[in-house]
Amino acid sequence: NAQDRKAKAERLISSFARIYTPIVTISAVLLAVLPPLVLTLLQGTPLSWAAFVPWISRGLVFLVISCPCAFVISVPLGYFGGLGGAAKKGILIKGADFIDALAKTDCVIFDKTGTLTTGSLTVQHVIPAAHISMEELYELAALAEYHSKHPIAQAITRFMHDRLGAEKSAALQQAAAEIRHYTEKAGSGVRTIWKGKELAAGSARFVLGDTAQPDAAATADGTKVFISYGGSYAGCIICSDSIKPQSTQAIKELRSAGVGYLEMLTGDGKKTGEKIADALQLDRCSSELLPHQKVERFEAISAERKKADAHKVCVFVGDGINDAPVLARADVGIAMGGIGSDAAIEAADVVLMNDNPQLIPQAIISARFTRKIVMQNIILSFAVKIAFLLGGAFGIIGLWAAVFADVGVALLAVCNSLRARW
């Protein structure tokens, strides 16, 4: 599939070769035939085979030199070398055109959970409402989150089962498995019916609506999951995860690579998002975003960055199913391949197999190096071809030099392309 996604330079060279080949073939024939005819007419001598021999030799030399193998082979080989070199590092790039795009990266926009942070969420605080006991809140949270595959829901479920004990936990799991009325809204939360009453878990907006957060929950730091039962507030669970060890270095390397703008998009609260963004020294953090709002924010950033230069590329890095729309919309979408969802990996243009954010600057640097090699191959091939074609037409060089201009330059370009795999 990657080979089918040709870069612009590859398509241009292929199109050029279709025009170039018949032109130089006809030129070689004309070089062998026209000069001896014209010279014979001007000198007034009889036409003979001897007059054609040196010019046929020049035409053959011209034809050998003009063979387009060097640039037709070396350009795609340069890109394939780049794809292979990136794959050896654990960076799967889905096409040569994305190498071109990565090389022009101007800004990188990140998801938070699982991308810059470990994604291994743990429950830090449980704050029940005044009329709810701690054990009741454990039970309600476990029942609400049982069917959800979201990392926050799974962290809460694990925590509640540990607190409730094996016997109580098994009974709750059996009861939760029998729940039939269950809905989940991406980026917001879940709703279900338990003993005839509505049970909800999720963001403050989803669970509480316009009602203000209780003071104890409002001042807490972390990702907050609110619980309501029967239409009344039942409590709040505070979760958090830690920054990946490689994230800080990845940000520094992106800055060193000349990436001009770095922002984080997250569905978490403003306080939590800004704490991570400040620790990593990002330019900005946009918090409390639903999946469609992430797309809108990314489009706004992209439009702003491309005002000065339409060729600037905005990259998005994410891992969850809620990141798939932004990954598909981005100039280049990069997904975490280890913990990433199938939807995110499918929508992405680049996949990082070991979830290491340091591979992001490496992918950009590798793409720029590959582009440099491709341009070297193009310049080398054309410069040598033009110089030797002129020499062949005027009879300055012979067949041995023509063979070098064809096979020798092609081999040099191939060897240069192999550098992209290192």
The set of catalytic residues is 111
Residue 129 CA: distances (Å) to CA of 135, 208, 230, 237, 412:
12, 13, 13, 11, 74
Name every residue whose Cβ is closer than 8 Å to that of residue 213 and which is 6 or more positions away in sequence. Answer: 204, 224, 226, 236
Contact 158, 126 (CB under 8 A): no
Token representation of residue 180: 């039939």
The amino acid that residue 262 corresponds to is L
Would you say the C-alpha torsion 394, 395, 401, 404 has a positive or negative sign? Answer: positive
Which phi and psi angles does 319 have, rounded to 5°?
-140, -20
Written as one letter, the residue type at 240 is S
Count of alpha carbons within 13 angstroms of residue 284, beta-carbon side: 12
C-alpha 55/C-alpha 395 separation (Å) is: 9
Cα-based torsion angle of the residue sequence 125, 290, 207, 227 in order, rounded to the nearest 10 degrees: -30
Cβ-contact 363, 91 below 8 angstroms:
yes
Check if the beta carbon of residue 78 is closer than 8 Å to that of residue 373.
yes
Helix and strand element counts for the chain (H, E) = 17, 13
Burial of 100 (0-12, 13-18, 19+ CB in 10 A): buried
Count of CB atoms situated within 10 Å of the CB of 367 = 26
**3-state class (DSSP) for residue 183:** strand
Which own/partner pairs from 379-388 qualify as long-range (CB within 8 Å, at least 24 positions apart)? 380/70, 380/409, 380/412, 380/413, 380/416, 381/70, 381/71, 381/74, 381/409, 381/413, 382/71, 384/70, 384/409, 385/65, 385/66, 385/70, 385/71, 385/409, 388/65
